[in-house]
Amino acid sequence: MNKEDVFILGIESSCDETSISIVKNGVEEISTVILSQMDTHANYGGVVPEIASRMHVENITIVIEECLNKANMTMDDITAIAVTYGPGLIGSLLIGVVAAQTLSYIYNKPLVPVHHIAGHIYANNIGKEMQYPLIALVVSGGHTELIYMEDNYSFKKIGGTLDDAVGEAYDKVARIIKVPYPGGPLVDKMSYEGNDVYDLPLPLDDDTYNFSFSGLKSAVINLAHNEEQRGNEINKNDLACSFQKRVVDILTKKTLKTIKEYNVSNLIVAGGVAANSGIRNRLIEECKNNNINLTIPELKYCTDNATMIAAAGYYAYKLGRRADIDLKATAVTELN
């Protein structure tokens, strides 16, 4: 171990994954443990906040221990602790924050607060440092944003959704066409089995950098109801295909417009919906044709994990960001 090396222990518990990770110098993943509660919540058709926080309480100490053991390290080897303080489910966040405060206090380590979306962005830094300036397309269950970054930890919001986030729209459409939880990945898969035959609108196809997905979602609801009333079966694969095509079309169109107008050549994609194969494939193709340097995280880093929190935590630590021992978990908070 080199004396200058910085080892960040990251903690993520904002939704239904309890995850701990150790990352060296913001780039190199040493060890990660993720305990997903997905199977439990699948029984209820979505995440039940009360159950999620209880499961975090039961699991977090086990996950911390397992992560350190896997790395063959002790808390003495850790430089600082980075934790997701928000946004997310307040009860879930609280468990991670209390664990971080306790470790920081007992082992006398700096406590670094990390915004969940900063974490998703820094998933692109794992294995190779991001190149600046860049545009980040953030697509998750709670966010759909275009962000300009001139350098590490400088986040300038250019545009965002005026209503639903794209992941939220996927989950709602999944429910309408009666696809089991987790809906997003299944709708993605089904879209490849169907054809774009349904006449859905391209949402907020205007000159702004903003998005809107509630109109597209309503169009899917109306179409499903109308067909049902007429006694017609909808073809779920075709509807998934038409929906995904509109989503991918508008995300790609506005992202390319932003890249052009901000005159940058680096694009990164962040958030759970970065796992969507339609978005990945289209952006790979468009970026190749337009000489844009595209980075999309490996699938395992797209959905919630602590590796991304530890990676972001390294830069926050370097910039001197520190939380007091009374750091508060926050359900809603702007990216900073």
Question: Does 304 interact with Zn ion (rule: CB under 5 A)?
Answer: yes
Question: Does 12 interact with ligand KG4 (rule: CB under 6 A)?
Answer: no
CB of 143 or CB of 236, closer to Zn ion: 143
Which partner, Zn ion, ligand KG4, none, binds residue 184 by CB below 5 to 8 Å per kind? Answer: ligand KG4
DSSP 136-204: EEEESSS-EEEEEESSTT--EEEEEBSS--HHHHHHHHHHHTTPPSSHHHHHHHHHTTS---S----TT
Provide the 10 A C-beta neighbour count for residue 92.
29
Q: x/- string (CB under 5 A) for Zn ion, residues 110-149?
A: ------------------------------x---------
CB of 13 or CB of 140, closer to Zn ion: 140
DSSP 135-147: EEEEESSS-EEEE
Q: How far is the CB of 247 from ligand KG4 (least distance, A)?
A: 8
Residues 60-89 that bind ligand KG4 (CB under 6 A): none
Please answer whether residues 271 and 120 qualify as being in contact, where contact means their C-beta atoms are separated by less than 8 angstroms. Answer: yes
Q: How far is the CB of 326 from ligand KG4 (least distance, A)?
A: 25
Which partner, ligand KG4, Zn ion, none, binds residue 41 by CB below 5 to 8 Å per kind? Answer: none
Contact stretch for ligand KG4 (CB under 6 A) within 58-66, 77-85, 259-267, 271-279? 271-279
Among 209, 288, 291, 213, residue whose Cα is nearest residue 253? 209
Query: Three-class SS of residue 319?
Result: coil
Q: Is the peptide bond before 110 cis (omega within 30 degrees of 0)?
A: no
One-letter identity of residue 251: L
Query: Three-class SS of residue 324?
Result: coil
21, 101, 266, 303: residue in contact with ligand KG4 (rule CB under 6 A): 303
Residues in the site for ligand KG4, rule: CB under 6 A? 15, 116, 120, 140-142, 167, 170-171, 182-185, 188, 271-273, 275-276, 303-304
